[in-house]
Chain A
Amino acid sequence: MVPAAAMNIGEVERWAEEGNFSYAIDPSYDAGRGVGEETVRYISSVKGEAPWLLDFRLKALALFQSLPMPSWAPLQKTDIDFSSIRYYLAQGQMAERRWEDVPAAVRHTFDRLGVPERERRFLAGVEAQFDSEMAYANLQKNLADRGVVFVPSSEGLRRHEKLFRPYFGTVVPASDNPFAALNGAVFSGGSFVHVPAGVRLEKPLQAYFRINSENFGQFERTLIVAEEGAEVTYLEGCTAPRFETATLHAAVVELVALPGAKINYMTVQNWSNNVYNLVTKRGLAREGGQIRWLDCNIGSRLTMKYPAVVLAGSGAKGEVISLSIAGKGQVQDTGARMVHLAPNTTSRIIARSLSTTDGIATYRGSVTVAPEARPCRSHGRCDALLLHPGSVSHTYPRLVGNGDGCILEHEAAVSKISEEQLFFLRQRGIPENQAIGLLVNGFFQDLLRQFPLEYAVELRRLLEMEVEVV
């Protein structure tokens, strides 16, 4: 843990600028600007996909063109110029197994972001996506020997169709919302993970998503299937250089926890402030299965993301821990969704947000209980910290029960840093900006502890930087 006081300005700037660089890349594959049937056919043919998959993509494209945005969305479809975006940029379709085989510019990018170093230190497997395709994918041999599959999505559909096709698009159908539909049409990259029954991964798998090119859209698709009694932790991180023009990131993540399986999915989202981050994440938990989303949103211009758990089997558990920071010019529209379909299911939502300057942090939570799901229980807790007079926080909880037998709770609080707290720390010799950094860290303290140590350190630094750079 690095205390605020140990940081100097140089270090703060280094972190602020961590992801802000790019390399000139001449892509071998480029679908051009805009999205239409040609774009979709190009991507599908480059990937050498089966006809059923092209069909899936084309149907999704039609849905994207016809589906309206939800009425409550803080963004209209017309806010994004879909015709100027590039939907597929790649140097090749096959991810390398060794870093030394990865093209130099791409390898340097991930070196600078510390990905190989972390892989050596504490990860069971790593995938690194550069624009549209995974440039690197590797899994520890002992896990591969035990039947664990951890591959880029296209490779998963090609080589392990029987494992993945039954689940593909079933948890998040393309018809879910316009951005899930767009993803269905042009998806590329993302991870497919399959953990056989009874296999428990002690170390996490990690995927790192990097946008390098300007006017680019990244549409990865991840599917994780944990068979009976299996356990897996998956971490994802993301950065992009800061461009003048908008960049789009519309991912789809589907999780399937079969009876007694546990999936722990952690995200550290630190996109640059020109990225629209519109992501659909949903998990399905069968009998006694557990799904936990740990979702940390620091970057992007606008994020709309509400990780969901469908509790479809008796005794299933769902949890969302959401941590977001809305800084200057940012909107973090985040939250959680729990759908109780079976009895004895429990869900828990903990959301905490910080708004600084004119940042807007919005919590949208939805808990619904089907009549056949009784008895069940859900608890939600939502805290917001406002740092400046123009900082904004909204909370929209929605709880829908059906008669007796379900206990649904929601608590919420908004707070500010008090003058007395600031003065106390100043009296101990800590100047105001550092004092604010300490207090903000304190506000997130117990949630940061949920992340692996390496991430907690990074997050603490990011938090202090967010507050100090204001």
Chain B
Amino acid sequence: MGNALAIDAVSVVQGGQRRVENFSTLLPAGHVHALLGPNGAGKSSLLRALVGHPDYAIEEGTVVCDGESLLPLPAELRSMRGLFLAFQSPVELPGVSIAQMLRAAKQLRLPKGETLDVLAFQDELFAALDRLAMERCWANRGVHEGCSGGEKKRCELLQILMLKPRYLLLDEMDSGLDREALQLVAHVLGELRMEGTGILLVTHQRPLLDLLAPNKILMLRGGRLVLSGGVEVLDAWEAGEWCRQRP
């Protein structure tokens, strides 16, 4: 078996309640899985639990990233192993510049005793900003500080380009984006996928799905996987049929 994020029979508990029950999917490197479902279906809970949010406990099941079990690891080490969560509404970090945060995160990814090459870091940051058609002054802005919804998403994409995660968990990356920004996001995600990044994508909208053509569609409802399959599932979703599906 090649590299993959293997989520097997996972149950998630938050605030004493079961949010997700017996969820499984095998996300190979370079694949895109789309996770769909109504509000409250447990999509965000699943993503938060996967990256180790202290409020979301995985009580049953296993999560294995490229052969290594993630569950014993704290959130920061899961990040080091290549998991990246793009938040639905990213929090603001007043006064902490994007460059400062990324530099700290990059330094921590180096082997012990090595120091980040600051000039190379700056070049890489500027190249990533150029790729996202963002002004270079973004480097010195506070993380998500005073950003519009769309700007926050771009900012998250910048972090993805800089930290090069192996598996992306995207929580409504496409919400609040205009047509042009959506095209850009889809384009960059397409490139990352070609480079071998696995993507688990939560969305409520069709356009990004059409642009990305996921390998697999997963339907979640009431915390359970109710339907999965190829793009044909999307048509069922649009017709509202999946609502009538029962596990």
> Which A residues are within 8 Å of any B CB, using their own CB?
1, 3-6, 418-421, 423-432, 434, 438-439, 441-446
Knowing A5-B107, A6-B107, A434-B104, the reply to whether A427 touches B51 (Cβ < 8 A) is: yes
Q: Of B53, B95, B103, B159, which one neighbours A423 at CB under 8 angstroms?
A: B53
Q: What residues of chain B lie closer than 8 Å to A420, measured between beta carbons?
A: 91
B245 at the interface (CB under 8 A from A): no
Q: What residues of chain A lie closer than 8 Å to B76, measured between beta carbons?
A: 426-427, 429-432
B213 at the interface (CB under 8 A from A): no
Q: Of A429, A443, A444, A446, which one neighbours B105 at CB under 8 angstroms?
A: A429
B40 at the interface (CB under 8 A from A): no
Q: Of B52, B75, B95, which one neighbours A443 at CB under 8 angstroms?
A: B95
Nearest-CB distance from A46 to chain B (Å)?
Answer: 50
- Interface range, B side: 20 to 34
* Interchain CA distance A428-B105 in the complex, whole Å: 6
Knowing A429-B163, A430-B76, the reply to whether A5 touches B105 (Cβ < 8 A) is: yes
22 A-B residue pairs with CB within 8 Å: A3-B103, A3-B104, A5-B105, A5-B107, A418-B91, A419-B54, A424-B87, A424-B90, A424-B93, A426-B52, A426-B76, A426-B79, A427-B75, A428-B159, A430-B104, A430-B108, A434-B108, A438-B100, A438-B101, A442-B95, A444-B95, A445-B142
Determine if A425 and B101 form an interchain contact, defined as CB atoms under 8 angstroms apart: yes
* Interchain CA distance A420-B100 in the complex, whole Å: 19
Nearest-CB distance from B121 to chain A (Å)?
Answer: 10
* Interchain CA distance A195-B68 in the complex, whole Å: 69
Nearest-CB distance from B215 to chain A (Å)?
Answer: 25
B109 at the interface (CB under 8 A from A): yes
Determine if B104 and A446 form an interchain contact, defined as CB atoms under 8 angstroms apart: no
Q: What residues of chain A lie closer than 8 Å to B96, measured between beta carbons?
A: 438-439, 441-442, 445
* Interchain CA distance A419-B96 in the complex, whole Å: 16
Q: What residues of chain A lie closer than 8 Å to B101, measured between beta carbons?
A: 425, 428, 430, 438
B90: nearest chain-A partner, CB-CB: A424
B83: nearest chain-A partner, CB-CB: A427
* Interchain CA distance A319-B123 in the complex, whole Å: 39
Q: What residues of chain A lie closer than 8 Å to B87, measured between beta carbons?
A: 424
Q: What residues of chain B lie closer than 8 Å to A439, measured between beta carbons?
A: 93, 96
Q: Which of A4, A424, A429 has the most CB of B within 10 A?
A: A429
Determine if A421 and B93 form an interchain contact, defined as CB atoms under 8 angstroms apart: yes
Q: What residues of chain B lie closer than 8 Å to A4, measured between beta carbons?
A: 104
Determine if A429 and B116 form an interchain contact, defined as CB atoms under 8 angstroms apart: no
Knowing A4-B104, A430-B101, the reply to whether A445 touches B95 (Cβ < 8 A) is: yes
Q: Of A5, A421, A424, A445, which one neighbours B104 at CB under 8 angstroms?
A: A5
Q: Of B80, B91, B93, B94, which one neighbours A429 at CB under 8 angstroms?
A: B80
Q: What residues of chain B lie closer than 8 Å to A432, measured between beta carbons?
A: 76
Q: What residues of chain A lie closer than 8 Å to B52, measured between beta carbons?
A: 426-427
Nearest-CB distance from A311 to chain B (Å)?
Answer: 31
Q: Of A424, A426, A428, which one neighbours B163 at CB under 8 angstroms?
A: A428
Determine if A429 and B109 form an interchain contact, defined as CB atoms under 8 angstroms apart: yes
Q: Which of B74, B84, B94, B95 has the most CB of A within 10 A?
A: B95
7 tightest A-B contacts by CB?
A: A442-B95, A445-B95, A5-B107, A442-B96, A5-B104, A429-B79, A426-B75
Q: What residues of chain B lie closer than 8 Å to A444, measured between beta carbons?
A: 95
Determine if A442 and B94 form an interchain contact, defined as CB atoms under 8 angstroms apart: yes
Q: Which of A432, A438, A443 has the most CB of B within 10 A?
A: A438
Knowing A6-B116, A423-B53, A429-B109, the reply to whether A441 touches B104 (Cβ < 8 A) is: no
B115 at the interface (CB under 8 A from A): yes
* Interchain CA distance A430-B76 in the complex, whole Å: 6
Determine if B54 and A423 form an interchain contact, defined as CB atoms under 8 angstroms apart: yes
B85 at the interface (CB under 8 A from A): yes
Q: What residues of chain B lie closer than 8 Å to A423, measured between beta carbons?
A: 53-54, 75
* Interchain CA distance A65-B163 in the complex, whole Å: 65
List 6 extra interface pairs beyond A427-B52, A429-B80, CB under 8 A.
Answer: A4-B104, A424-B87, A428-B105, A429-B76, A430-B104, A430-B108
Q: Which of A419, A423, A443, A446 has the most CB of B within 10 A?
A: A423
Q: Of B90, B91, B93, B107, which one neighbours A442 at CB under 8 angstroms?
A: B93
Q: Of B85, B93, B103, which one neighbours A425 at CB under 8 angstroms?
A: B93
Q: What residues of chain B lie closer than 8 Å to A430, measured between beta carbons?
A: 76, 101, 104-105, 108
B159: nearest chain-A partner, CB-CB: A428
Q: What residues of chain A lie closer than 8 Å to B80, measured between beta carbons?
A: 429
Q: What residues of chain B lie closer than 8 Å to A446, measured between beta carbons?
A: 95
Q: What residues of chain A lie closer than 8 Å to B90, measured between beta carbons?
A: 424
